[in-house]
Amino acid sequence: MAEKGITVKKNENFSEWYTQVIQKAELADYTGVSGCIVFRPYYYAVWEKIMDLVNARIKKYSVKNAYFPLFIPESLLIKEEEHVEGFAPEVAWVTHAGKTKLNEKLAIRPTSEAIMYDSFSKWIRSWRDLPLKINQWSNVVRWEFKHPVPFLRTREFLFNEGHTVFATEKESLKEQDWVIEMYRYICEDYLGIYSMIGRKTEKEKFAGAVFSVSLEHFMPNGKAIQGPIFHHDGQKFAKAYDVTFLNKNEKKEYAWQNTWAISSRMLGVLIYSHGDDKGLVLPPKVAPNKCVLVPILIKGKEKNVLKKCKDLNRNLKKFDCIFDDSDYSAGWKFNQWEMKGVPVRIEVGPKDVEKKQVVLVRRDTGEKLFVKESEMVKKIEELLLDIQNNLYKRSKKMALDNMVDVKDTKELKKAIKDKKLAKAFWCGDQGCEEMMKDQTGGAKILNMPLNQPKKFGKCVYCGKDGKHLAYIAKSY
Ligand SMILES: [Zn+2]
């Protein structure tokens, strides 16, 4: 266990704070390979929760899990031009087996379209085989050259890859609704993170997609992070990988496809969103342990307190409560479990035993409550609900408080300099999009909200008629 708590303040040195939280709260660890991290058990449990939520939801929509190989032959990967162009600089290749050079080099999947659609083209014969809905849980490798940040920018990360195939465009477009709602519900209702849902620009969309719809999250340090995403591929991949079917008139048609994903990046967004100077703050719904029970041991009176704690602990199983009866001091334990983000702490000392009460402490606000033993379970349930709601409310408020409407380049530059999230009209011209990035030192259009206004103002860059309302910020 770590010796000391977090020694820097979140708003003073964000990146050092993040590094300390990850290591001291035992969420992840670095390895000998730059950009490749260990997901430690305590935090991997949060990823498992996300997997459970996705698995439960996709089953409702008849999506089946499967597994495809890690290696993709070069000849397969290069079939869809835009796709390969988008990924080429980041692909890691296997060229040798032992000392023998391979006949064809193998890509370590940066994503699985190529290998999956090669199979799909064999599996799908007629309209009867559609829709085909496959998901896989996988690790992918994208050899980033930017400075790696655990969870947020790593060379290897984990995600779900939903890959679906339909007979008609209409059906494929309809899928967007439930997929985006699934991701919204995971991000907002479980992770407590406010999400801005919108369409990516042509420049920022997924390589090979017709369009992409993303959830974007604004962080307290003024930067946004892209969360889960849905891509509509149209027939682009179908044409590249020959995913065809015979329609009811026995005529060959190309299929319509979608891809969608949530990645382990969200584990980083979670730390950024809710963490404070004491460390991680976990929303109760995804916390592996919803409470921790700490006996306050005073010499000569240990026995009663420990006995009481053991009794109480029997009623705390459903919260996966940690009973910390280790020989560390109570103060040390408080710091430790606060650092790990456990939502509620239960303290029991000799006086509490006498008064038949317990002390409950909320991780999100630090508020202390004295509660009768008999009401402990009910009160914890209430607190967990309240903490869950409070974290989401805070996340939403932070994003909305930082949103500013900007009308021209001057205002945009100021907003970005002040670490705000700019909302602006844009004419749709890629030149303007690039100039915005240039003028602001790297801020980009995150996405364009799905609910667009009826009237548009002038483009923030060129002053011509706007066609889209866009969110603009610096982004990871
Ligand atoms: Zn413009």
CATH number of the domain to which 356 belongs: 3.40.50.800
Does a structural domain hold residue 7? no
Question: Which range of residues forms the domain containing residue 238?
Answer: 14-274
Ligand 1 centroid vs 453 CA: distance in angstroms?
18
- CB contact at 8 A, 273 and 192: yes
**Short-list 45, 43, 6, CA closest to 26:** 43
Calculate what percentage of the chain has a pLDDT beyond 70: 99
CATH number of the domain to which 411 belongs: 3.30.110.30
pTM score, whole prediction? 0.95
Q: Cα separation of 96 and 105, whole Å?
A: 8
- CB contact at 8 A, 198 and 471: yes
Q: Is 61 in the same domain as 204? A: yes
Q: What is the mean pLDDT of residues 391-405?
A: 97
Say which range, 67-81, 280-294, 308-322, 378-392, has the weakest mean pLDDT.
67-81
Axis-axis angle for helices 41-60, 169-184 (nearest 10)? 140
Q: Cα separation of 153 and 134, whole Å?
A: 26
Domain boundary among 214, 240, 274: 274
- The number of folded domains in the chain is 3
Does a structural domain hold residue 286? no
What average pLDDT is seen over the chain?
A: 96
Q: Is 98 in the same domain as 129? A: yes
Q: Is 120 in the same domain as 75? A: yes
Ligand 1 centroid vs 409 CA: distance in angstroms?
11
Does a structural domain hold residue 366? yes
Ligand 1 centroid vs 407 CA: distance in angstroms?
12
Query: Which run of H or E residues covers position 469?
Result: strand 468-475
Domain boundary among 350, 383, 416: 383
Ligand 1 centroid vs 424 CA: distance in angstroms?
11
Q: Cα separation of 429 and 467, whole Å?
A: 9
Ligand 1 centroid vs 422 CA: distance in angstroms?
16
Q: Is 350 in the same domain as 429? A: no
277-300: per-residue pLDDT in tens? Answer: 999 999 999 999 999 999 999 988
Q: Is 242 in the same domain as 311? A: no
Ligand 1 centroid vs 433 CA: distance in angstroms?
7
- CB contact at 8 A, 122 and 243: no
CATH number of the domain to which 141 belongs: 3.30.930.10
Per-residue pLDDT band at 1 (split at 50, 70, 90) = very low
In the predicted model, is pLDDT for residue 246 greater than 90? Answer: yes
Q: Is 38 in the same domain as 148? A: yes
Model pLDDT, residue 2: 45
Domain boundary among 245, 274, 303: 274
181-212: per-residue pLDDT in tens? Answer: 999 999 999 999 999 999 999 999 988 899 99
- CB contact at 8 A, 96 and 102: yes
Model pLDDT, residue 84: 82
Q: Is 407 in the same domain as 469? A: yes
Q: Is 253 in the same domain as 164? A: yes
- CB contact at 8 A, 226 and 249: no
Does a structural domain hold residue 33? yes
Ligand 1 centroid vs 402 CA: distance in angstroms?
24
Q: Is 251 in the same domain as 207? A: yes
Q: Cα separation of 239 and 241, whole Å?
A: 6
Ligand 1 centroid vs 205 CA: distance in angstroms?
19
Does a structural domain hold residue 373? yes
Task: Kindly give the pairing relationship between strand 71-73 and strand 156-166.
Answer: unpaired
Ligand 1 centroid vs 222 CA: distance in angstroms?
24
In the predicted model, is pLDDT for residue 3 greater than 70? Answer: no
Does a structural domain hold residue 88? yes
In the predicted model, is pLDDT for residue 139 greater than 50? Answer: yes
Q: Is 304 in the same domain as 229? A: no
Does a structural domain hold residue 6? no
Q: Is 223 in the same domain as 85? A: yes
Ligand 1 centroid vs 127 CA: distance in angstroms?
44
Ligand 1 centroid vs 421 CA: distance in angstroms?
19
Ligand 1 centroid vs 461 CA: distance in angstroms?
5
Does a structural domain hold residue 192? yes
Ligand 1 centroid vs 466 CA: distance in angstroms?
7
Ligand 1 centroid vs 425 CA: distance in angstroms?
9
- Provide the token pair at 88: 């080429």
In the predicted model, is pLDDT for residue 439 greater than 90? Answer: yes
Q: Is the dihedral of CA 205, 206, 209, 211 positive or negative?
A: negative
Q: Is 353 in the same domain as 233? A: no
